[in-house]
Amino acid sequence: MSATEFSSDIGAVNRIDAVPIILRMVKQMTGMRFAAVARVTESHWVACAVDDALEFGLKPGGQLVVDSTICHGIRQHRQPVVFGHASQHPVYSRHPTPHGYKLESYISIPIIQADGHFFGTLCAIDPAPAEIEDPGLLDTLNLFAQLIATNLDLQRSLDLKTHALSDAEEAGRLREQFIAVLGHDLRTPLSAIRMSADLLQTQVVGQRQQRLVHAIGQSSQRMSALIEDVLDFARGRLGDGITVRRVWVEDLQGYLRTVVDEVLASHPGCRINVDLQLGTGIYCDPARMGQLLSNLLGNAVTHGAQQAPVELVVRIEEGDVMLAVANQGEPIPESLLPLLFQPFTRCEAGARGEGLGLGLYIAAQIMQGHEGTLSVSSDARHGTCFVARFPVRQTPAAIM
């Protein structure tokens, strides 16, 4: 089997954004100069991703004779192998692999997918000794291997469902499967990634390592938001519409204030002027109202002028709850305004579009579920303003 026959495995690993970060962190945490993700089968050892400061010579697609590697044994017993000084090790001082490749320090962690499939290993080598036989380090490397396995599972699940969705004859059945994939098969492994990133944050030291782990966490949060948007879109277009569960909410202002604080925390440089005057008792879906506000504020912060604050006003006006989010900056082109609330339309306005272009579509659907409307105005003088309105229904008797 040639390296080209492993191209799908190599491609799958290289589609994982966190892999280069993981390889850099393995090198930094161990002091070793070569790190790689390898596909290991009964007959082949193939490099899928490589970070080589050692000039060992392997590139993605490069192969080693599998019988000459320790990974061949790891494939069978599925346990990590770690030693920092081969020539003094009671077992590996006599092993042919360290002698053949002139290695003193070695790490190899099995990458095992959710169904028990052995994909390969996360490994590192160096001809110099290293202080690496530490339980805390091994725990961290095991987490890295689990992150890679989880991402491979995620990609495989997406690929399988994408192929299945192409069959129009199964559209009815696949509608439910697609929503199930988004709701469980994607969110469950993503939760594991986020929890692992949080755990790593408490274990690594040094500002650079902290930044790398933070990048993994930020990427997983952004992926989670994208999955939720696609899930809402799938329910809206393939099911019975976006679910809105209206209840009697005594303190909607509190929900909205929490959303403002979350946006400020994730965009430290932004300013938001807040004017909340709702009083108590609003009949609405508080979680969906928070989602609507988060989408509108995120849009305003992303596309507004950095030097000008975003304006948020929420009040009772002419029998409606009125929520307005305004920002300064380049106006939205007039030709784009009629398309803003359509799915997969990005408001670029001179900046790079983020996400899938579903945020404003979902916000409009939330207002529709509240028997309300979402509108927009935009010009050079007044900036851009999104206004959401829905009937207030302030008394319990009005909702009976």
Picking from 314, 310, 303, the residue whose alpha carbon sits closest to that of residue 387 is 314
- 188 with 325, same domain: the answer is no
Using 50, 70 and 90 to split pLDDT, how confident is the model at 376?
very high
Residue 97 has what pLDDT? 93
- 91 with 169, same domain: the answer is yes
Q: Where are the alpha helices (DSSP H) in 267-376?
A: 286-303, 359-369
Look at residue 138 and tell me if it is in a domain: yes
Look at residue 40 and tell me if it is in a domain: yes
pLDDT in tens, 27-86: 999 999 999 999 999 999 999 999 999 999 899 999 999 999 999 899 999 999 999 999
- 355 with 271, same domain: the answer is yes
Picking from 292, 283, 258, 278, the residue whose alpha carbon sits closest to that of residue 366 is 292
Residue 3 has what pLDDT? 54
Residue 28 has what pLDDT? 93
Across the chain, mean pLDDT equals 83
- 208 with 351, same domain: the answer is no
- 373 with 282, same domain: the answer is yes
Look at residue 60 and tell me if it is in a domain: yes
- 81 with 143, same domain: the answer is yes
Residue 352 has what pLDDT? 42
Look at residue 225 and tell me if it is in a domain: no
Q: Are 194 and 220 in contact (CB under 8 A)?
A: yes
pLDDT in tens, 141-164: 999 999 999 999 988 888 777 776
CATH code of the domain containing 95: 3.30.450.40
pTM of the model: 0.48
| Residues 355-392: b if buried by 16+ CB within 10 A, e if exposed | bbbbbbbbbbbbbbbbebebebebeeeebbbbbbbbeb
First to last CA, the chain: 70
Residue 345 has pLDDT above 60, yes or no: yes
Pick 301 or 345 by higher pLDDT. 301
Q: What is the mean pLDDT of residues 252-277?
A: 88
Residue 1 has pLDDT above 80, yes or no: no
Look at residue 275 and tell me if it is in a domain: yes
Look at residue 258 and tell me if it is in a domain: yes
- 289 with 156, same domain: the answer is no
CATH code of the domain containing 270: 3.30.565.10
Pick 229 or 275 by higher pLDDT. 275
pLDDT in tens, 197-255: 777 777 776 777 777 777 676 666 666 666 666 666 666 665 556 788 899 998 899 98
Using 50, 70 and 90 to split pLDDT, how confident is the model at 351?
very low
Residue 183 has pLDDT above 60, yes or no: no
Q: Cα(189)–Cα(185) distance, rounded to whole angstroms?
A: 7
Strand runs (DSSP E) across 257-330, as ranges?
272-277, 282-284, 310-317, 320-327
Residue 399 has pLDDT above 50, yes or no: no
Q: Which two tokens stand for residue 292?
A: 């609507």
Residue 20 has what pLDDT? 93
Residue 367 has what pLDDT? 94
Q: What is the mean pLDDT of residues 361-379?
A: 91
Residue 159 has what pLDDT? 79
- 202 with 107, same domain: the answer is yes
- 260 with 133, same domain: the answer is no
Residue 4 has what pLDDT? 66
Domain end call among 199, 218, 237: 218
- 59 with 107, same domain: the answer is yes
Residue 238 has what pLDDT? 55
Look at residue 147 and tell me if it is in a domain: yes
Q: What is the CA radius of gyration of the chain?
A: 26
Look at residue 231 and tell me if it is in a domain: no
CA separation (Å) from 168 to 162, 164, 174, 175, 176? 12, 9, 9, 11, 14
Residue 342 has pLDDT above 70, yes or no: yes
Domain end call among 201, 218, 235: 218
Q: How many domains does the chain have?
A: 2
- 153 with 97, same domain: the answer is yes
Domain end call among 218, 238, 256: 218
**CA 68, 136, 219, 112 torsion: positive or negative?**
positive
- 267 with 204, same domain: the answer is no
Pick 358 or 18 by higher pLDDT. 18
Q: Which two tokens stand for residue 176?
A: 């439910």
Q: Provide the domain limits for residue 383.
A: 247-399
Q: What is the mean pLDDT of residues 267-296?
A: 89
Residue 400 has pLDDT above 50, yes or no: no
Residue 169 has what pLDDT? 53
Residue 312 has what pLDDT? 97
